Structure 1
């Protein structure tokens, strides 16, 4: 999810879709599931889109397999390692495949019009060695969600600084709120929660020249504050952050058990279904709203192994038509990756709830997805970052170990 980052999904493959005729070419696409149940699985989106495409292209069949975010990246890796990659994959990372020469360049696939329409920093994030291989598919940014009912009952206002966030959390705890501030540093999407906090503390995963800086003084101070001011004081709820996954935190918010949490657009729909009254504000920083916000993009890519460059490009040009980009974005409360669709959504009354996220996107900072080491580094963060706020732990030591792993991964790839 957005890698993303990422989104909710089911754990099993959800079949395939496409026509049953005898086409000249069959293209296989492996895609991630952005739904949280069979009722809103991404399979339904792809079924409708493929049906529309095949009706105009009877010589091409699109065979789509949809997997949960827990499985989809691993599934594609297994296929590639077995020498049988799909023609297209819509997953969380592309750089490793690009570095091995396994992907088409975007300029070899898409029309100039389609290429030119991508939002600038998303297209830039799809580059390896100044060539674009990753095609942005869906995007999101992060804001602070708060429960309006719980805040009104406690007589507090949304925080703008870390100190105000801690004060609000103390008041919510005194009111009996189960999770005053939900801090999901469990393995599902810990890299996202971590990055937002690092940015709000004035640093991030890398410096301006792309070198990993996980154990910078600012990052150590950020996790020291989280450990001492939130976790140690019992303000993050009954589940240890290292064991709290983002999906569980979102579900608790939708059940009215969370006062505040860092959230992305899909939480809008999830909370609204349960009738939770919520608001959103810019994520707090040390002395005011955070100067940088995290953005996440998920990626489409075309594999060269089976050929079919022209057919892949034609289908992807269709995928990125405004009506299809808007349909997908609205189904899952995600942000469009094209300028034209983003402008249409910004101007549309039906998309009013997404405007705070749309405003953040042009300035958002993304994961260092162009580094071939990022998949390895991200996996290590997911596995170990929760230890940095555990009782008796040393944030400096944990971040130092992660920095060492990142440096090794970066040097070996």
Structure 2
């Protein structure tokens, strides 16, 4: 491959401050690694973003690996893709068995960084590539000021609503919780199966939970970064959900604690749901089924929410196999504008680099993603820099549905999750 980068640009000592690199495009020069007389096989485990065999992420990675190998005859890239339900566990099992992959594209990184298992970003990435990450995402990839998590795919959330159902019920898109409740009741009166879908099931309850916490002025942590799951704001939020939506029979298709995101999205795409929080991939799902949808900023307690949820998945580079140079060279290729944009467009996700984000913002073909792009720099992400986050997230997935169940006690549920958070945090 013409003009590929060498490791000369990489810095192996010290910590660099991540900058937003506005206007910066990664410029890479030099020639590719050949691996010397011995061929090197890089093992990558990745998550599947597709919803069928036709658009499985395995297909994306196989094509990217083939393209990379064509210019690097001494390096082979072996990619295994797992569903999101399995990928984090698969990688954890590999690491515990002493068989860590060279790279893993997964949902968290901090526990591996805490154990000293990961290369730092500046161990493997060229300076232009590392500096090109969107600052909001790069900052979330740091532990104690050092970046270990490399943002790979990003999304923000907005409220999707079914235009046809809203017109039939004579309501307009909500900007506040009161608006949302009134719209849900009007939809219910018109016979809409599920006025609001509230996925607090085990697949991604931590996302819906944080979206609602933020809209109520709360969150998982306070301004100092200390867990505040049981804050008065959060208790008010889940009491409102219990009383104004779930308790009035305005949610579905199943009880919130049993509803996964994928099923909620599918119900919306089938035209059965009036509104729900969604990320960019829902646009294609709904559009393919002919659903006329609109998108608005997440409603808040007293008007549009002042904060929205941002989510990033992570690429990690493990030290155990010692392929630092080859990993770095391959990841520089992964994060080229062409490849970042190809992946983002294939799966309706947001680019994680500034230059690719700018390219998408100015592109006519990507105009539907602009509402999500605009929110990215204002979004708040999970506290993924905390090694305790995995335990907290698991507790949320297991328990938060109980907070909104009829007769549920939000204060008690949030207090139990807070206890888990405090205990896990004290062990960090």
Structure 2 CA distance for aligned equivalents of residues 113 and 391 of structure 1: 53
2:246 pairs with one of 222, 228, 231 = 231
Q: Are the equivalent residues in 2 in contact too, given 1:23–1:58 (CA < 8 A)?
A: no
Q: Which residue of 2 aligns with 1:142?
A: 157
Q: Are the equivalent residues in 1 in contact too, given 2:253–2:267 (CA < 8 A)?
A: no
Is 1:333 aligned to 2:348, yes or no? yes
Q: Which residue of 2 aligns with 1:199?
A: 214
2:300 pairs with one of 261, 285, 298 = 285
CA RMSD of aligned residues (A): 0.8
Is 1:245 aligned to 2:260, yes or no? yes
Structure 1 runs of 4+ with >3 Å offset: none
Structure 2 CA distance for aligned equivalents of residues 129 and 237 of structure 1: 41
Is 1:108 aligned to 2:126, yes or no? no
Q: Which residue of 1 aligns with 2:41?
A: 26
Q: Are the equivalent residues in 1 in contact too, given 2:197–2:253 (CA < 8 A)?
A: no
Structure 1 CA distance for aligned equivalents of residues 272 and 95 of structure 2: 42
Q: Which residue of 1 aligns with 2:416?
A: 401
Q: Are the equivalent residues in 1 in contact too, given 2:221–2:228 (CA < 8 A)?
A: yes
Q: Relative to structure 1, is the Cα distance of residues 238 and 138 closer, same or farther in structure 2, using a 3 angstrom cutoff?
A: closer
Structure 2 CA distance for aligned equivalents of residues 79 and 294 of structure 1: 31
Structure 1 CA distance for aligned equivalents of residues 136 and 217 of structure 2: 20
Q: Which residue of 1 aligns with 2:309?
A: 294
Q: Which residue of 2 aligns with 1:183?
A: 198
Structure 1 CA distance for aligned equivalents of residues 126 and 259 of structure 2: 43
Q: TM-score, normalised by structure 1?
A: 0.94
Structure 2 CA distance for aligned equivalents of residues 168 and 146 of structure 1: 10
Q: Which residue of 2 aligns with 1:321?
A: 336
Q: Are the equivalent residues in 1 in contact too, given 2:253–2:259 (CA < 8 A)?
A: no
2:70 pairs with one of 52, 55, 58 = 55
Q: Are the equivalent residues in 2 in contact too, given 1:201–1:218 (CA < 8 A)?
A: yes
SS of the residue 1:298 aligns to? strand
Structure 2 CA distance for aligned equivalents of residues 274 and 127 of structure 1: 40
Q: Please report how far the alpha carbon of residue 237 of structure 1 lies from its aligned counterpart in structure 2 after TM superposition.
A: 2.6
SS of the residue 1:230 aligns to? helix
SS of the residue 2:49 aligns to? coil
Structure 2 CA distance for aligned equivalents of residues 185 and 214 of structure 1: 16
Q: Deviations over 1:78-113 (max 9, x none)?
A: 000001100000000000000000000000100000
1:94 pairs with one of 109, 128, 140 = 109
Structure 1 CA distance for aligned equivalents of residues 399 and 267 of structure 2: 23
Q: Which residue of 1 aligns with 2:97?
A: 82
SS of the residue 1:297 aligns to? strand
Q: Deviations over 1:184-225 (max 9, x none)?
A: 111110000000000000010001111100000000000000
Q: Please report how far the alpha carbon of residue 23 of structure 1 lies from its aligned counterpart in structure 2 after TM superposition.
A: 6.1
**Map 1:148-167 → 2, pairs under 5 A:** 148-167=163-182
Is 1:121 aligned to 2:166, yes or no? no
SS of the residue 1:34 aligns to? coil
Q: TM-score, normalised by structure 2?
A: 0.91
Q: Deviations over 1:125-166 (max 9, x none)?
A: 000111100000000000000001101111110000000000
Gaps of 5+ in 2: 1-36
Q: Please report how far the alpha carbon of residue 392 of structure 1 lies from its aligned counterpart in structure 2 after TM superposition.
A: 1.4
**Map 1:311-390 → 2, pairs under 5 A:** 311-390=326-405
Q: Are the equivalent residues in 1 in contact too, given 2:102–2:327 (CA < 8 A)?
A: yes
Structure 1 CA distance for aligned equivalents of residues 125 and 195 of structure 2: 47
Structure 2 CA distance for aligned equivalents of residues 180 and 375 of structure 1: 32
Structure 2 CA distance for aligned equivalents of residues 374 and 238 of structure 1: 29
Gaps of 5+ in 1: 1-21
Q: Please report how far the alpha carbon of residue 29 of structure 1 lies from its aligned counterpart in structure 2 after TM superposition.
A: 0.1
Q: Please report how far the alpha carbon of residue 238 of structure 1 lies from its aligned counterpart in structure 2 after TM superposition.
A: 4.7
Instruction: Give the count of matched residue pairs.
Output: 392
1:262 pairs with one of 273, 277, 283 = 277
